[in-house]
Amino acid sequence: MISGRIQGRDKALPHAYKGHRMRLALFQPAIPQNVGACIRLSACFGVELHIIEPTGFQFDDRAMKRAALDYGPLAHMTRHPDWAAFQAARGSGRLILFTTKGAAPLTDFVFQPDDTLLFGSETAGAPEHVHAAADARVFIPIRPDARSLNLSVSAGIGLFEALRQTA
């Protein structure tokens, strides 16, 4: 038994611990715990996290800090004051919107290493102008009688699959 470590984990996603060109973006998130969990995703998988404001909370919120634990210094997070600022700073690569109104199931979608994975607000999703700006719209298949997954759960599922494909 290896104390505190999972044997072979450094071989599973080698780029995840060195940084990657893939990016994770949250459009106007409302729940601080979800942002905290995505800060942990950013830190653990070595991807940039972009927060498109306004958010439904203050960034000094205790709930967000508690969810992020001590991963904040390991994460690369950029806050954008609005959608236009995010678009101007985004750079190259496709914009992949994860949405319940997605056209392609996650299980069929082919990711590229420089994709930006964008997730809408927990309460309102993404507005039409964000849908129009996306290069592709993807959904995570769930039971038909279930409404949707939690934002940070969706981000974790989508990010892991994208990194797995592009490893």
Binding residues: 120, 140, 148
Judged by DSSP in three states, 23 sits in strand
Positive or negative: CA dihedral 118, 124, 129, 135: positive
Q: Which residues sit in the known binding site for S-adenosyl-L-methionine? A: 120, 140, 148
- Angle at CA of residue 32, ends 26 and 114, nearest 5°: 25
CA distance 102 to 86: 21
C-alpha span between 14 and 31 (Å, rounded): 31
Enter the tokens of residue 1. Answer: 């038994």
β-strand partners of 48 = 23, 76
Measured CA to CA in angstroms, residue 84 lies from 87, 97, 118, 160, 161 at distances of 5, 16, 14, 27, 28
